[in-house]
Amino acid sequence: MPKPAANRKSPAEPDNPSEPGQTFEEAMSDLQQIVADLEDNALGLEASLTQFERGIGLLRKCHTFLEQAEQKIEILVSLKENGDVTTAPFDATPTAGTTDPKTLF
């Protein structure tokens, strides 16, 4: 069983997944470590459940990070003669479940 990093809590002690200072990359790294720990089958049932719950919280946090980033994306509309760009806000309307293939892209 791999040793936990010095700054890591034990599997039975979940970090707060809504930690305000945590970046997307840190949350993803923590989530990847949880997946590795669960795949390793080295944890007991209770610790596995605790880590699974923590992983769900981190997954939600990562999803929120991605949604916020998507909302900030602007689409390049055109390039003016002086080199300036014209942009338009990204339409983040979900297309899942649509039957019109033109709206998928």
* Tens-digit pLDDT profile for residues 4-59: 443 444 333 334 444 567 899 999 999 999 999 999 988 899 999 999 999 999 99
Which residue did the predictor score with more confidence, 101 or 41? 41
Residue 10 falls inside a structural domain: no
* Domain membership of residue 94 as a residue range: 74-103
Helix axes 24-40, 45-72, angle to 10 degrees: 150
CB neighbour list of residue 61: distance below 8 Å, 6 or more residues apart:
17, 18, 22, 27
The pTM of the full predicted model, rounded to 2 decimals, is 0.54
Number of domains in the chain: 1
